[in-house]
């Protein structure tokens, strides 16, 4: 790994380490070392450098929401009557646990959110009683995801 114009340039070993860790962040360092053909200490040192340079920003536990009964994924475009209402709307959206992502967008919508609900009735309840009641929300457009076909991070 080297830095060029504030951008990291990764070598083959770095890329393989990242492939292994993005597939399973809990994969043992020695297992990665055997696959790559270098020592465990070298892998540990490279991971530390990737963290220090800001490429790796921690790891996370991934929950299977379906096991908890959350089966409806929806994307909602939110129209605000005034752009100045964005910070307050986002503050209120943060209080809705089902909102997984919130994006400030160009185009027709002011905000695009990703929601995970138990079912369509739960989605309708959130729309009618929480999202559309936020001051400044003039209307929403809802798209229900039938199936998530790709789920990944940037690849190498």
- Measured in residues, the chain has a length of 156
State the average pLDDT over residues 97-106.
97
pLDDT tens-digit map of 57-100: 988 888 999 999 999 999 999 999 999 999 999 999 999 999 99
Cβ atoms of 51 and 6 within 8 Å: the answer is no
* Residue 61: predicted pLDDT: 86
Enumerate the domain spans of the chain: 2-52, 65-145
What CATH fold (topology level) applies to the domain 2-52? Arc Repressor Mutant, subunit A (1.10.10)
Our CA angle for 60, 100, 72, nearest 5°, is: 110
Sign of the dihedral through C-alpha 144, 148, 149, 151 = positive
pLDDT tens-digit map of 13-56: 999 999 999 989 999 999 999 999 999 999 999 999 999 999 99
Our CA angle for 149, 154, 156, nearest 5°, is: 110
CATH architecture of 65-145: 2-Layer Sandwich (3.30)
Cβ atoms of 17 and 25 within 8 Å: the answer is no
Identify the band that residue 103 occupies on the pLDDT scale cut at 50, 70 and 90.
very high
Cβ atoms of 123 and 70 within 8 Å: the answer is no
| pLDDT at residue 136 tops 80 | yes
| pLDDT at residue 4 tops 80 | no
Q: How far apart are the first and last CA of the chain?
A: 14
SS3 call for 3: strand
* Residue 27: predicted pLDDT: 95
* Residue 59: predicted pLDDT: 86
């Amino acid at each position: 790994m080297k830095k060029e114009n504030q951008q990291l340039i990764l070598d083959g070993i770095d890329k393989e380490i990242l492939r292994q860790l993005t597939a399973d962040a809990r994969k043992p360092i020695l297992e990665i070392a055997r696959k790559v053909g270098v020592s465990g200490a070298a892998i540990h040192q490279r991971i530390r450098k990737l963290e220090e340079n800001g490429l790796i920003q921690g790891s996370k536990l991934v929950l299977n929401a379906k096991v908890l009964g959350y089966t409806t994924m929806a994307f909602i475009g939110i129209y605000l009557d005034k752009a100045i209402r964005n910070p307050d709307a986002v503050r209120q959206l943060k209080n809705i646990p089902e909102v997984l992502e919130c994006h400030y967008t160009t185009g027709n919508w002011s905000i695009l959110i990703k929601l995970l609900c138990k079912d369509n009735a739960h989605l309708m309840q959130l729309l009618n009683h929480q999202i559309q009641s936020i001051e400044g929300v003039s209307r929403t457009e809802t798209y229900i995801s039938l199936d998530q076909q790709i789920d990944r991070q940037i690849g190498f």
